[in-house]
Structure 1
Amino acid sequence: MKVLLTGSTGYIGRRLKQRLSNRDDIDLKIFVRNKKSHSNLTLNSFEVFEGDTFDKEKLEIALQGVDTAFYLIHSLNNKNYKDLDKISAKNFIEAAEKCGVKRVIYLGGLGVKNENTSEHLLSRIETGEVLSSSKKVQTIWIRAGVIIGSGSTSFEIIRNLTEKLPIMTTPKWVYTKTQAIGVDDVLNYLEQSIDLESKENLVVDIGSEQLTYKDMMIQTAEALELKRIIIPLPFLSITLSSYWLNLFTPVQFTVAKALIEGLKSEVVIQNNNAEKYFPNIKPISYKEAVKKAIKEIKSNQVISRWSDTGGRIWEQNHTQEIADAIFVDRKERTIKNISKEAIYKSFISIGGKNGWFAYDFLWEIRGVLDKLIGGVGLKRGRRSQNDLRIGESLDFWKVVDIKENERLLLFAQMKLPGLAWLEFKIEDNKLIQSAYYYPKGVFGRLYWYSLIPIHYLVFNNMIDSIIKKSANDD
């Protein structure tokens, strides 16, 4: 069976790709915006098509000969995501019809249309409706609520709030009911949808037990062996709640607001199709899913994270932009008898829990300031403390290029009056560390000049610390 996977760099898509790659009865194809977002192993193991769902010609090439296609695409990071989602879904189902695809499997969200439905949830519902409108292609529409797993948006929010706030004052939405589900159970439903014998369009609502968001936070605290007090307040608005999430969790303000707006209405199961068509899947409880996620984090086994797909600028070729940078802070050190492997291992391990060497407090201050003005801040951390891949987040940076034992290029995603990059490169027995900055207007230039003393301390210490760490580890 030929299967096409879209959204393969996303939270669910990356995990589903790993699972489907283990099946000998499936010829897996991958449709991705940028091939660089995948490792050489993936590129050599699968047929990878480059393009997006707004390019009909490339979409049809990818769908040729496909039996089943997974639609795991969402445009939440764009301002007009609701319109883009409709266009994307329409293009996809029309191309699927034209290419003779038999089945499309879509992962959407639980919920019903009413006056309280958020724009985010409404977009997910409308996407499902567009995909289900075809009379030639069967659509299996899996609908999940809060997905709990290491690296998922919902889990990261709940875990961060629970860990950092012994006493929480919360809006009245904490009494809203939902049905969470563990990420592995979601993957089970998606994978088994490939082999489902039904020929009709299906809407399959999935989830474990019904809980309020307050119940979920209390159970999370119990799983973390913490005691927490939750005090709901009736006067916290959506905007205030969004700023609150922005400050205490890894998500930035725009994402927090979209999620908070969705908490106004209950998202619970509306049908029994999960039991009817997938009787062998028994979703684990919420607390079990939390414990499993915590175990993966502690053992450094996080496969994917919610923040890895945010910010399409990492897909661009930055060579020309860097060449145009007006300001450059470059430091060079001779490697001497230290191996390139040790140097590379040191500079790809910076950030996250490992920190930024001697001046961590300055990075923390910059992260807090970034959060206060709606940026991503430092709380995103990193997926793994010892490994990086193109496209994933590293604190308030994005990995835009990486070459083993040679180079790491990071693009700044913090709020800036300009564009910035940080590069580590091994060349001619030297470690070259470069900060590039392209300012916007007068304020952008003032910003750079005001930071020169801090840059002197931070960047000199950084390259010296990398050399010292490498020498100790080599």
Structure 2
Amino acid sequence: MSDLSQPTGHEDALRALPRPDGTAPRALVLGATGYIGGRLTPRLLNAGYRVRVLARDAGRAASFPWGAECEIVEGSADDAAAVAEAMRDVDVVYYLIHSMSAGTDFEESDERAAHTVADAAASAGVGRIVYLGGLHPEGVRLSPHLRSRVLVGEILLASGVPTLVLQAGVVIGSGSASFEMIRHLTEVLPYMPAPKWVRNRIQPIAVRDVLHYLLGAARVDPDVNRAVDIGGPDVLRYGQMMNGYAVEAGLPQRAIAALPVLTPELASHWVNLVTPVPRSIARPLVASLQNECVVKDHAIDDIIPPPHDGLTPYRRAVALALGRLDADAVETSWLDAEVSGAPSDPLPSDPDWAGRTVFTDRRSVETTASAEALWHVIVGIGGENGWYSSPLLWAARGWMDRLVGGVGLQRGRRSRSAARVGDAIDFWRVETIEHTDAGSLLRLRAEMKVPGDAWLELRAVPDGDRARYEQRAVFFPRGLGGRLYWLAVLPFHGFIFAGMAARITAAAEAASAPTAPVDA
């Protein structure tokens, strides 16, 4: 019986157990700079483990928020000398690496790394290996990448070191490649001609539940040496996953037509065309969807009990990934008390194609005006003072908003020279005001009718006796309509936003100019 089943409480069962000499156990993380590893490492530290990471680039690993708290060994998983050094005095090894390369030798590379790690762990007397593999059906032909992941698990299980292979399917969380493919396909395509695998059943799992199982795996009994499936509570078709995302993102249901002619190769080209997910990653993801991936049994429950509040339903996992739920209502334990953000949140280390699509328009102008004079103009923008750009274009935008049921420009503003958080300024709402010696910021949130979320930021940055004006328009499109809207208004940005920057700084300079003396 696993000690996780003892009546110590769910969270206590995830804490590190001291060694017999009273010292904290040491965990080695391979893949600490990856999606899962970057989220697991700080949680291991919170749980009381001493953490060592093996990274190809020690400088990159050190730049993570947790970098200073970890011991870093530079090297790759197929470098026998580096792996042997990293294995010294280690209790548990987390194997969180897998090649996503489209090259022909990735299987050989994966196999070589697995043998290197297995041999080093056995020689060093490591107590446990934990491997995150891929959920897959039995007795069918697997894609090369899934086949390789299965082989890695088999090599580790045969190492002589007690090994737990956790086999997961689609992981739901911002930054997960599988989730990002769902996100971008759903948001871009109101109608989706799709490969026939959209009808396949899949059992997705929230990233927070994956981390729960990974933490618990460090404390299972030493006689456990096996592979187990992990998945969330919902079994869905891929098309249902897309439409579940659409509901949580506030999008209409997507019409999906399964076509038998889209091969994995063609489908990966198509995914790369309509989403920012690189083809080198889209190709193995698409290939792995050719088979149904459903948990075969619940043997994991006898090894690691589920989270105390249960496994996360798919749509709740999506809502967490979209930031629609208050993370503090979910992540309230010591597990995340010192971790920046919930596991579903994006990290700075996530790939640049991860997260919501965002469009921006940035302007920066050096001005001879003082920062205070520039701020006086910024904080008084809108209403009777106008928007320091083409009045006709702003009026047209206001009329358009009124036609579709919006507030238009008729609200004006409560004061010509002052603003506070919550004030309405035409079809904007004041969201943030910061006015300090280091600089000033006015952030406005759009309340006009647009297919997405929009903000306008205006800054006055001191530069000695002068100032720099910074302006940023930010737009998060909703669905294909949001993207088309941005493209439609893009030609007018040169008139509107460039004109704003020029006229606001000119007004500030005029206000800063010394007044000429008047003759008596």
TM range (shorter): 0.5 to 0.7
Q: Secondary structure at the match of 1:48?
A: strand
1:232 aligns with 2:258: yes
Counterpart of 1:37 in structure 2: which amino acid?
R
Q: Counterpart of 1:180?
A: 204
1:57 aligns with 2:85: no
Equivalent position to 1:222, from 242, 247, 268: 247
Q: Secondary structure at the match of 1:295?
A: coil
Q: Is the alpha carbon distance of 1:113 and 1:172 closer, same or farther for their aligned partners in structure 2, counting shifts above 3 Å?
A: same
Equivalent position to 2:268, from 231, 237, 242: 242
Counterpart of 2:59 in structure 1: which amino acid?
K
Contact 2:100 2:280 in 1 (8 A): no
Q: TM-score, normalised by structure 1?
A: 0.63
Structure 1 residue 338, shift from structure 2 partner: 11
Q: Counterpart of 1:29?
A: 52
Contact 1:151 1:304 in 2 (8 A): no
Contact 2:162 2:222 in 1 (8 A): no
Equivalent position to 1:158, from 182, 202, 206: 182
1:261 aligns with 2:287: yes
Q: Counterpart of 2:296?
A: 270
Structure 1 residue 128, shift from structure 2 partner: 0.3
Q: Counterpart of 1:168?
A: 192
Q: Secondary structure at the match of 1:255?
A: helix
Q: Is the alpha carbon distance of 1:298 and 1:304 closer, same or farther for their aligned partners in structure 2, counting shifts above 3 Å?
A: farther
Q: Distance in 2 between matches of 1:338 and 1:145?
A: 57
Contact 2:93 2:129 in 1 (8 A): yes
Counterpart of 1:307 in structure 2: which amino acid?
P
- Per-residue CA deviations over 1:45-102 (Å, capped at 9, x if unaligned) read 2211111112111111110010111011112236121110000000001000111101
Structure 1 residue 215, shift from structure 2 partner: 1.1
Q: Counterpart of 1:89?
A: 114
Q: Is the alpha carbon distance of 1:34 and 1:335 closer, same or farther for their aligned partners in structure 2, counting shifts above 3 Å?
A: farther
Equivalent position to 1:107, from 114, 132, 138: 132
Contact 1:151 1:305 in 2 (8 A): no
Counterpart of 1:56 in structure 2: which amino acid?
A
Q: Counterpart of 1:321?
A: none
Structure 1 residue 240, shift from structure 2 partner: 2.1
Q: Distance in 1 between matches of 2:58 and 2:43?
A: 20
1:45 aligns with 2:69: yes
1:295 aligns with 2:339: no
Contact 2:165 2:226 in 1 (8 A): yes
Contact 2:102 2:280 in 1 (8 A): no
Structure 1 residue 28, shift from structure 2 partner: 1.2
More moved, 249-258 vs 285-294: 249-258
- Per-residue CA deviations over 1:191-228 (Å, capped at 9, x if unaligned) read 01111235220212111221110111111111112112
Percent identical = 36
Structure 1 residue 254, shift from structure 2 partner: 2.7
Q: Secondary structure at the match of 1:186?
A: helix
1:284 aligns with 2:307: no
Q: Distance in 2 between matches of 1:338 and 1:193?
A: 60
Contact 2:193 2:257 in 1 (8 A): yes
Q: Secondary structure at the match of 1:264?
A: coil
Contact 2:319 2:325 in 1 (8 A): no
Q: Secondary structure at the match of 2:323?
A: helix
Structure 1 residue 294, shift from structure 2 partner: 0.4
Counterpart of 2:263 in structure 1: which amino acid?
S
Contact 1:150 1:305 in 2 (8 A): no
Contact 1:32 1:52 in 2 (8 A): yes
Q: Secondary structure at the match of 2:158?
A: coil
- Per-residue CA deviations over 1:10-64 (Å, capped at 9, x if unaligned) read 000000012112123x111111111111245544322111111121111111100
Contact 1:296 1:302 in 2 (8 A): no
Q: Distance in 1 between matches of 2:186 and 2:32?
A: 30
Q: Is the alpha carbon distance of 1:296 and 1:77 closer, same or farther for their aligned partners in structure 2, counting shifts above 3 Å?
A: farther
Q: TM-score, normalised by structure 2?
A: 0.57
Structure 1 residue 164, shift from structure 2 partner: 1.1
Q: Secondary structure at the match of 2:76?
A: coil
Q: Distance in 2 between matches of 1:336 and 1:45?
A: 46
Q: Distance in 2 between matches of 1:142 and 1:129?
A: 12
1:127 aligns with 2:171: no
Q: Secondary structure at the match of 1:232?
A: strand
More moved, 281-290 vs 297-306: 297-306
Contact 1:152 1:305 in 2 (8 A): no
Question: C-alpha root-mean-square deviation of aligned residues, in Å?
Answer: 3.1
Q: Distance in 2 between matches of 1:256 and 1:334?
A: 43
Q: Distance in 1 between matches of 2:370 and 2:114?
A: 52
Structure 1 residue 264, shift from structure 2 partner: 1.3
Equivalences, count:
323
Counterpart of 1:302 in structure 2: which amino acid?
P
Contact 1:10 1:304 in 2 (8 A): no
Q: Distance in 2 between matches of 1:251 and 1:12?
A: 18
Q: Secondary structure at the match of 1:197?
A: coil
Counterpart of 1:53 in structure 2: which amino acid?
A
Counterpart of 1:132 in structure 2: which amino acid?
L
1:307 aligns with 2:351: yes
Structure 1 residue 278, shift from structure 2 partner: 2.0
Q: How does 1:295-374 map to 2 (within 5 A)?
A: 295=323, 301-303=345-347, 307=351
Counterpart of 1:130 in structure 2: which amino acid?
I
Q: Is the alpha carbon distance of 1:298 and 1:250 closer, same or farther for their aligned partners in structure 2, counting shifts above 3 Å?
A: farther
- Per-residue CA deviations over 1:370-419 (Å, capped at 9, x if unaligned) read xxxxxxxxxxxxxxxxxxxxxxxxxxxxxxxxxxxxxxxxxxxxxxxxxx
Contact 1:160 1:249 in 2 (8 A): yes
Q: Distance in 1 between matches of 2:126 and 2:90?
A: 6
Specify every segment of 5 or more residues in structure 2 that has no aligned partner in the other structure, as ranges. Answer: 1-24, 328-340, 355-364, 372-497, 510-520
Superposed structure 1 runs of 4+ greater than 6 Å apart: 296-300, 333-339
Q: Secondary structure at the match of 1:73?
A: coil
Q: Distance in 2 between matches of 1:225 and 1:81?
A: 40
